[in-house]
Structure 1
Amino acid sequence: MKNKITGRSAFLALLKDEGITHLFGNPGTTELPIMHALKDHPDLTYVMAMQESLVVAIADGYSRASGKLVACNVHVAPGLGNAMGSLYNAQFTGTPMILTAGQQEQGHGLMEPVLYGPLVRMAEPLVKWAVEVTRLEDLPRIVRRAAKVAMTPPTGPVFISLPGDILNSEAGIDLGRSTRIDARVKPSDEALRTFAARLLKAELPVIVTMDEVVKSDALKEAAELAELLGAAAYQSSTPYGSHFLSESPSFVGTLARVQKIARDTLAPYDLLVALGGDPLRMSVYSEVDALPDGLGIVQVGLVDWEIAKNYGAEIALKADVKETLRALIPVLKEMGGAALASRARQRLAELAPKNWTARRGVLVEQMGKS
């Protein structure tokens, strides 16, 4: 016989089993059941913010800093409305987040009570999946699915509407188990050798890194690839974090989000190596195209929507960035040999006066004199 448990306690137990350590929130009347249940879950830290946009923003930042799934809870329709700007950011950055909102009791919505709204329809444009719990027995399956969907590349936020009667009801339910999909795939040996051959053919390659480098924990490997090639490395034009090791002799900064400046920056190169995501995401319209004429692109990433989204790629690999680079670097060394090492040293020497380390040194010296 299954042990009876309330919806509110089951919800918190499910979050903890999915790896959640902090619940970010701004509670109102419909969230009081969750607040009541927190006393039975002292190992779950509640972090309160004074407005819902801050709740989601803090959770977003915590996830980006930790790389973990996060959970936050807001108050009915106006609270979800307040959170939408921050939820847009979480969607943009692909933050794995379970966003929940308390909802009026089922059936009571027909009366259009104060603060009522169609929460699922409100959230749907900005999340990977949105659902309202209509039976307590479905709560474990919904939370488990939400966590799996949020954490599976392309990662992103999901939304669950929690009616008050679901949170306050009690039943004997099975909480199920957590699932994570391992998407750390690498290309075939043939694809790796083709990719390596194209990199070795380039006279002056440039690397542009995006968020997948961080999500796959490939900062070290991206820097190793750049230094192996002697290639300049830029963060993409829309970075929302640190996507390359600034101490690397290859790092020269961030591409501008202005088409003409980005085009001029990339003009000297003959191959753009895009590691995850969209390398040339611009802001305002311009008649000038950000990609110089004749500049070829090769790209690696798990999110196929972002691969060759605006510019065709000579080689496009749907694969995990870290796993690809770990497999690619030995192939490059084998195929490139001493000639590659010699060419890389020459290229890095040419970069030395203008890389980020040199520019930072000038700034430090100037600050010391002021």
Structure 2
Amino acid sequence: MNGAQAMVRTLADAGVGVWFANPGTSELHLVAALDDEPRARGVLCLFEGVATGAADGYGRMAPKPAAVLLHLGPGLGNGLANLHNARRGRTPVITVIGDHATGHRRFDAPLQSDIAAVAGTVSAWMRRPETAADAGPAAAEAVTAALAGGVATLIVPSDAAWSDGGEVAAALPAPPPEPAADGALEPAAAALTGGEPCVVLVGGDATRREGLEAAGRIAAAAGARLLCETFPARLERGAGVPAVERLAYLGEMASAQLDGARHIILAGARRPVTFFAYPGLPGDLVPDGCQVHDLGADATGALARLADAVAKEAAPPLQVAARPDVPSGALTGESAAAVIGALLPEGAIVSDEANTSGLWLPGATAGAPPHDWLSLTGGAIGQGLPVATGAAIACPDRPVVCLEADGSAMYTISALWTQAREGLDVTTVVFNNGSYAILSMETTRVGAVPAPPEQGTVARDMVDLSRPALDFVALASGMGVPASRATTAEEFAAQFGKALAEPGPHLIEAVVPPLG
């Protein structure tokens, strides 16, 4: 058995059978090893950012990580943005990066680079097995590290893959998160029962039903405000699920949500800060004089214990079932959100990268049947289409809806080809407003340029996507995905309903005006 076979079989024994791959010469023995392992599924992606984003989507929805196979340092570089998103979302991912043979490194070949230095920026754990004998044990350790939450990286020299002497190793289960000591919960309990305004801010695994129920009980009993982080990795929501409001993206709006709080209790969430620095505005969103209490790594467990301490008789407020009426007339971000809220199927997985066109989505879909919402955890755009791809492979029995902005879609548009190749049940809505609308808004907010129409020609041109206009129907059709274009609410409702009713991938180009 060579090292590649040992690695693939070790991962398969641990339940890691899906490989999102964009391989090259250095990885071909690993590709061949997939043929030798019937439990392994290779999923070809035409761009590394699709492979890493798909592994992220898979890891968010499956109880186990996927592997992503990349070609040397440049392949890692191409996939880095979505590995950044996976890192921020604490998604379990196993990244396997091929490297030059150990004896070839001294030649400084054209594709030679410092893979470890780059991988270290996104990896929670990293190992370079130098021999075939190291390959299986390193893979087993990678599984354990990924299951602990994060990107585990294997840098595999090609001779370690092709050489004989590999042995299968058994992965150990990841240790559970360290529970908070009783003393660590006492300040939070005192804050919640002390009569001062409190905010409970949830993130990580606490945005699943169990954590939300505990947090909802706490908020109901203490009169606290319940919020979740702006971009949760996976938020369970919909009718019958404890309702939670997301912290706003814009700093001014987030400050208003937190205004007056004397205590903020962090349950799996990070301390709230603005996404960027803005002239004359604070970056830290914690109000002056407010105390921050962090419940630690085991956020869901800590919330459950805290709820039992301060909210024994309380019940969480549940989201009431409600759907908007299907609108008619002009197609806008608001009317498109109403259509989605009216038609979203039960059990849907929504991959949301709608950006400015999606401002109305939370309200319109809140009372839809229970579903999962996957958002842009690290802010690096180009995530929506790949995450939807990985989620569809992780949950083949559930419909996946990808809500995608036009500019972001172009980063990883080739994910459509993988969806067609794999026959995935993904309905993609591309909101085509012909612009990088988020940048148009931000250039004014940071004071770089005046508001339109006083902006200069170059500033306007750098956010304009209309010269030439992008034709998403043609792009999707060219990659094997049936596609249509909607310019009215009626057209969009008919096309969205039809796409949901039919198996396989579909794309709808929703032509909407830019925000503002």
The partner residue of 1:327 within 302, 305, 327 is: 305
Q: Deviations over 1:217-237 (max 9, x none)?
A: 62332233333334331222x
| C-alpha distance after superposition, 1:25-78 (max 9, x if no partner) | 012222211222222211111111001111001101111122422211011222
Residue in 2 that maps onto 1:182: 175
> Could you tell me which of 162, 167, 172 is aligned with 2:156?
162
- After the TM superposition, which residues 339-350 of structure 1 pair with which residues of structure 2 at under 5 Å, given as runs? none
Deviation at 1:199, TM superposition (A): 0.8
Distance, in Å, in 2 between the alignment partners of 1:151 and 1:262 is 32
State the shift of 1:23 in Å: 0.9
Unaligned runs of 5+ in 1: 303-319, 349-354
State how far apart, in whole Å, the 2-side matches of 1:138 and 1:246 are.
Answer: 47
Name the structure 2 match of 1:311. Answer: none
Moved more, 193-202 or 47-56: 193-202
Taking the aligned partners of 2:22 and 2:143, their CA distance within structure 1 comes to 21
Report the aligned-residue RMSD: 3.1
Match of 1:97 in 2: 93
Alpha-carbon offset, residue 292 of structure 1: 2.1
Structure 1 position 17 matched with structure 2 position 3 = no
Of 8, 14, 17 in structure 1, the residue corresponding to residue 4 of structure 2 is 8
Q: TM-score, normalised by structure 2?
A: 0.57
Are 1:292 and 2:284 an aligned pair? Answer: no
Specify whether residues 243 and 296 from structure 1 end up closer, same or farther in structure 2 by C-alpha distance, changes over 3 A only. Answer: farther
Q: Give secondary structure in 2 for the equivalent of 1:233.
A: strand
Q: For residue 87 of structure 1, what is the aligned residue in structure 2? A: 83
Measure the CA separation in 1 of the matches of 2:58 and 2:25: 26
1: CA distance, partners of 2:209 / 2:154: 27
Corresponding residue for 1:47? Answer: 43
CA deviation vs aligned residue, 1:115-152 (integer Å, no higher than 9, x gap) = 23232233122212333221111122222222222222
Contact 2:184–2:295 (Cα < 8 Å) also in 1: no
Instruction: Assess if the C-alpha contact under 8 Å between 1:208 and 1:233 holds in 2.
Output: yes
Moved more, 75-84 or 292-301: 292-301
The answer to whether structure 1 residue 255 and structure 2 residue 247 are counterparts is: yes
Matches within 5 A, 1:1-370: 5-152=1-148, 155-171=149-165, 173-214=166-207, 218-236=211-229, 238-243=230-235, 245=237, 247=239, 251=243, 253-286=245-278, 287-289=280-282, 290-302=285-297, 320-333=298-311, 367=338
Between Structure 1 and Structure 2, the one with more helix by share is 1
2:429 aligns with: none
* Whole-angstrom distance in 1 between the partners of 2:219 and 2:131: 53
Residue 67 of structure 2 aligns to a residue whose secondary structure is strand
What is the SS of the residue equivalent to 2:91? coil
The answer as to whether partners of 2:205 and 2:299 remain within 8 angstroms in 1 is yes
Identity %: 25
* Aligned 8 A contact 2:188 2:265 in 1: no
In 2, distance between residues paired with 1:70 and 1:330? 36
User: Kindly tell me: are residues 163 and 231 of structure 1, through their superposed partners in 2, closer, same or farther at Cα, counting changes over 3 Å?
Assistant: same
**SS of equivalent to 1:272:** strand
SS at 2:32 equivalent: helix
Aligned to 1:178, the other structure's residue is in SS state coil
CA contact (8 A) 1:219 1:245 kept: no
Using the TM superposition, name which of 269-278 and 22-31 deviates more: 269-278
Deviations 1:241-293 (A, max 9, x none): 34464557974522223333222222244432221221413112143342222
Residues 300-342 of structure 1 show CA distances to partners (whole Å, capped at 9, x for unaligned) of 121xxxxxxxxxxxxxxxxx112222222222146xx7xxx6x
Deviation larger for 73-82 or 260-269: 260-269
Q: C-alpha separation between the residues in 2 aligned to 1:133 and 1:249?
A: 45
One-letter code of the match for 2:162? Answer: N
1:11 Cα deviation from its structure 2 partner? 1.0
* One-letter amino acid of the structure 2 residue matched with residue 19 of structure 1: G
Matched residues in 2 for 1:47 and 1:80: separation? 17
The alpha carbon displacement at 1:356 in A equals 7.6
C-alpha distance in 2, partners of 1:270/1:108?
60
Counterpart in the other structure of 2:434: none
Alpha carbons 2:3, 2:136 under 8 Å: kept: no
Letter in 1 for 2:169: G
Task: Tell me the TM-score normalized by structure 1.
Answer: 0.77
Q: Distance in 2 between matches of 1:234 and 1:109?
A: 51
TM-aligned CA distance change 1:269 to 1:174, over 3 Å = same
Asked if the contact 1:53–1:85 (Cα under 8 Å) also holds between the matched residues in 2, the reply is yes
Contact 2:201 2:269 in 1 (8 A): no
- Name stretches of at least 5 consecutive residues in structure 2 with no aligned partner: 328-334, 343-488, 490-516
Q: 1: CA distance between counterparts of 2:34 and 2:197?
A: 58
Paired AA for residue 72 in structure 1? V
- 3-state DSSP of counterpart to 1:130: strand
State the alpha-carbon separation in 2 of the partners of residues 37 and 232 from structure 1: 52
2:102 is paired with a residue of what secondary structure? coil
Q: Deviations over 1:95-121 (max 9, x none)?
A: 221111222222122223342323223
Contact 1:120 1:159 in 2 (8 A): no
